[in-house]
Structure 1
């Protein structure tokens, strides 16, 4: 299946954890019991979930800084999870080009959210990358 499937699955799992307002190992175990992944996909999902969880405050601060006129609590949980995965990749995964992280997050938002959300996510990530480069 590949990295796109792993990204989508990581987003879904982050969404589930956010809805439960808890990083619960049982939720993660059930998630992996109900889905089939190859070793690379599972490794990516586990790394992304753990890294996002360990750095949630930092990642959320980056998101909040770049959602001008919005509060994080007003974002849809799907969009928040999508942004968290993208920021995780940009900040913590040197093996993934920034452009790929942005494009994949836009595609995920088109699939699971709305066209407006994809434009919003593109703007937030573009702003984040520009500020990071300065």
Structure 2
């Protein structure tokens, strides 16, 4: 049984969270450990590598996009790490992966927020990404 795209996004979020805590860590080792814990499929999905490397390699540009949609008195460094990582994943998919519909990226981000954050964060993430998606279309 293969890993779903949603499960890949969860693994990408968890990998980015681990890399945020330990930037010197090897993403491949994190993928392997996470996949062994959650799946019977030992193969690392290409989509997982694409999401993690895409967010990592485009972080500055992604953060600039996020900053455009924050309230005037907010800055990236004021966001909690969980919300910021969820936003980065969604913005990467919206701006750099045209094969992923914007609505799917938004819905997946809200699902991640539901699983890893709280209702207030989910509403905040929805506001930021909804404005981005509206402007993107």
Which whole-Å CA distance do the structure 1 matches of 2:111 and 2:121 have between them?
10
Tell me how far apart the structure 2 counterparts of residues 12 and 126 of structure 1 sit (CA, whole Å). Answer: 24
Q: Could you say what the CA RMSD is over the residues aligned between the two structures, in angstroms?
A: 1.8
Higher normalized contact order (CA 8 Å, seq sep 6+, divided by chain length) = 1
Q: Which one has a larger percent helix, Structure 1 or Structure 2?
A: 1
Q: Specify which of 7, 10, 22 is matched with residue 8 of structure 1.
A: 10
Aligned partners of 2:83 and 2:125 also within 8 Å: yes
Aligned to 1:45: 48
Q: Note if 1:64 corresponds to 2:63.
A: no
The number of equivalent residue pairs is 130
**TM-score in terms of structure 1 length:** 0.87
Gaps of 5+ in 1: none
What is the TM-score of this pair, normalised by structure 2?
Answer: 0.85
Q: What is the SS of the residue equivalent to 2:125?
A: helix
Write out per-residue CA displacement over residues 87-127 of structure 1, whole angstroms, 9 at most, x where no aligned residue: 01111112211101101100110110001111000000011
Uncovered stretches (5+) of structure 2, i.e. residues with no partner: none
Q: Which runs of 4+ in 1 moved over 6 A?
A: none
